[in-house]
Structure 1
């Protein structure tokens, strides 16, 4: 099964003619030297951003008193650390990354899932930490404690995944949310803006944001090139990293059952249904295996937990409600108003990306409308692209879920794997003011987040 790719050269020519008619102040100008070696430049920018985040976190940790002393307790005197030469030297540097949810991932990597509430944190990252500590970093056990080797493994995995995710955006963006912008400049800017993400510290710490972004972008690239089975395999891994990886199953429903089905016979449509079911099952399989592991752990013994009697016994859903107060409208309380205020910029930014594309192209699905109408809209709408629709729908679905059912203040890192940067490009071609404001928000929120995170201050 292959994805029908539009004639990007024709659409690029249309866009270039439209851009020529824009006011001079709203038109991209100047030479673009970074694109001579774009991937190398993006890699250097990503590495520099990680060093900048670490330097600011270390300085904050050094000169600002921590709000919480949990790190000192966890990394305190340890019999395993006795006689380890590098342990006292490395501990102050590595500890700036050990905050909030990182405690859970480190404990899971070290001890496994011992407590019910730990099942809110998915196993891919802890498994990779354990594997790296036992293989690549195994010589470090002579000079570091096992816990410190695991901590170092998690830090390296997150930062390397971040660099690879930033570089992957250059390869894939022309085929994704703005397919008509088959434009190397846009692709480069997307990767550069990803390096300035507001969730900067979370992308470097022992969190799943970076590895999930890498798997998401890689799956999107495979999907955009029509490689559906490899995309499903990659997204299956993503659902082992974060629960929202299962929503990528919707791409196959769209591709096989919605797009270009108007003239398909019943037999061919049945085959598409079976293929969509198998691909979707593969994507959901990662999370399903983790839920089955939890079911075996808590429901097959002598004293099963209450959630085991539910019609669909999902440990993850129970843990989110019972221990983290997540659920539909559960966060809608007056005392949470400051957290909604913190999330407001990302909510507005997402709306600025979703609403125009939905209004312009919500009814445009290949095979439903005649080709003449689709081609007319491609000529008259600067930002129209049928290929963008599944990504816009995904963005809208996750926005609705984050607003109604999550701790809304985490939306900045929850959307780290979404293409929010394309809003800046859209606005930039119209006015230079909004992109500058958005860029200031990206950088300012990210810097504040580094300081708060490294000293154990909320929100996180």
Structure 2
């Protein structure tokens, strides 16, 4: 395990055993006091995270009766009930795709663009709710409730993980607390509550990072990371980039352990490093291959699959490619991603190199501009810190935010060149703690007189709302978060395009 800072520092030069006992007693009392303060701070942060979801739910409830959609996929119509009317603002755009997959499986070709873990969990949770409620709710409402509970539990866990990771990286409880406050009202907030993969994916990724930086045992660390990052890849396609965290942190661990070793032992350590990361990479990729083989077999065999009449009729009515129909990608080969993935992305979403560079897409680039600027600016700050403090500081500080910066740039480049650029907003805020930590650093630097205990004020949207009254970069950051938190919720729940 990476060595941390000791919370109890005993003086080395003492005159008697009595002074040792007194010092330890005093330090023990200080440690107990610090633990109580930490618990109180975390409890306060959790309450603010929950309140941010409640406010978002109320905004959704007000605007979910509006429907400005045009040709978006609506799925098979089912009778409304009280659950749907209460939560329908969370069932827009891609949420309908996940709802349909959870109910009927991958029966339409375009559904294959959505990875399987989230709809599988939705269906499992829906089955449990159906049993508990004795079938009171409709099948679709069971799925919606399942997603609602799953996403909010994952969101709460993610907030605690951000606090832990941030405090480990920065050694600052204030920065860690601000990171959580920013997370609670992040610009992609509506997607963390809707039937989207954001909450689940964020939780799995942060859990993997937490295990990498906190667990000392190889036999615990790598199996857990393999499971978590495999699950993340089965949730979203960009989960493959999480392998970079394994390469980085395991490499950093090897460097820390062999700085004073002889050359032969260093070579052996390098070989051991390559062996263990290779095992993780192979198993993570294999998890996706299982899904790939299964769906390829179902779509590319000659046997017809019996479908419910309503599902088949809807597919014919909407001119959708139904399972059992000839598809062009059956003869294609792909090493990592399923053979159908790139073909479907290109055919249905125009995902290709410079495919999004069109005049009519300029508003989408403008919508993503703030988060792109923040990503580049924060990356420059990280690199400057590395150059200023040196390699030894970098190694001893868990790599600082460098792995998150590299990961964010790896997500940004294809967003600018290949896929829908506006999606980068929700991808970056659900894939990495990077912007939460680095923007929190900026807010901390510009509020030196504010201590951790002050962050709980005011009661609603603490600290961040106070920054709106300033005339510096703090105001810019908080205004961006608040604007997208509210505007994004209103637009998304009204079935208007937003990221």
TM-score by length of 2: 0.75
**Once the 2 structures are TM-superposed, how far is the Cα of residue 331 of structure 1 from its aligned partner?**
0.9
**Which residues of 2 match residues 150-189 of structure 1 at below 5 A?**
150-175=143-168, 179=169, 181-189=170-178
**Once the 2 structures are TM-superposed, how far is the Cα of residue 48 of structure 1 from its aligned partner?**
0.9
Change (3 A) 1:34 1:59: farther
Change (3 A) 1:8 1:402: farther
What residue is the counterpart of 2:244 in the other structure? 250
Q: 2:207 aligns with which of 218, 221, 230?
A: 218
Q: Is the 8 A contact 2:233 2:284 kept in 1?
A: yes
Alignment length (residue pairs) = 412
Q: Is the 8 A contact 1:424 1:434 kept in 2?
A: no
In 1, Cα distance between equivalents of 2:495 and 2:393: 54
What residue is the counterpart of 2:109 in the other structure? 116
Q: Is the 8 A contact 2:165 2:210 kept in 1?
A: yes
In 2, Cα distance between equivalents of 1:115 and 1:72: 12
Q: 1:427 aligns with which of 430, 442, 446?
A: 442
**Once the 2 structures are TM-superposed, how far is the Cα of residue 209 of structure 1 from its aligned partner?**
0.2
**Which residues of 2 match residues 35-434 of structure 1 at below 5 A?**
35-62=38-65, 65-68=66-69, 78=79, 88-175=81-168, 179=169, 181-226=170-215, 227-256=221-250, 260=255, 263=263, 264-301=265-302, 305-312=327-334, 314-361=339-386, 374-375=391-392, 386-417=399-430, 418-419=432-433, 420-431=435-446, 433-434=472-473
In 2, Cα distance between equivalents of 1:243 and 1:319: 13
Structure 1, 450-459 or 426-435: larger mean CA deviation: 426-435
Q: Is the 8 A contact 1:353 1:422 kept in 2?
A: no
**Once the 2 structures are TM-superposed, how far is the Cα of residue 422 of structure 1 from its aligned partner?**
2.1
Q: Is the 8 A contact 2:130 2:136 kept in 1?
A: no
Q: Is the 8 A contact 1:204 1:210 kept in 2?
A: yes
**Once the 2 structures are TM-superposed, how far is the Cα of residue 142 of structure 1 from its aligned partner?**
2.7
What residue is the counterpart of 2:26 in the other structure? none
Provide the secondary structure at the position in 2 that maps to 1:437.
Answer: helix
1:450 aligns to 2:497 (yes or no):
no
In 1, Cα distance between equivalents of 2:355 and 2:148: 33
Change (3 A) 1:37 1:304: same
Q: Is the 8 A contact 1:137 1:153 kept in 2?
A: no
Structure 1, 446-455 or 354-363: larger mean CA deviation: 354-363
Change (3 A) 1:279 1:103: same
Change (3 A) 1:252 1:459: closer
In 2, Cα distance between equivalents of 1:215 and 1:244: 13
Q: Provide the aligned C-alpha RMSD in A.
A: 3.1
TM-score by length of 1: 0.81
Q: Runs of 4+ in structure 1 displaced over 6 angstroms?
A: 69-73, 376-379
**Once the 2 structures are TM-superposed, how far is the Cα of residue 6 of structure 1 from its aligned partner?**
6.2
**Once the 2 structures are TM-superposed, how far is the Cα of residue 341 of structure 1 from its aligned partner?**
0.4
In 2, Cα distance between equivalents of 1:309 and 1:201: 39
Q: Is the 8 A contact 1:140 1:149 kept in 2?
A: no
Change (3 A) 1:35 1:275: closer
Q: Is the 8 A contact 2:60 2:493 kept in 1?
A: yes
Return 5+ residue gaps in structure 1 as ranges.
Answer: 10-32, 79-86, 365-372
In 1, Cα distance between equivalents of 2:273 and 2:330: 35
Q: Which has the larger radius of gyration?
A: 2
In 1, Cα distance between equivalents of 2:164 and 2:42: 9
After superposition, give the CA deviation of every residue in 1:71-98 in whole Å (9 maximum; x if it has no partner): 99768554xxxxxxxx633331121211
Structure 1, 245-254 or 213-222: larger mean CA deviation: 245-254
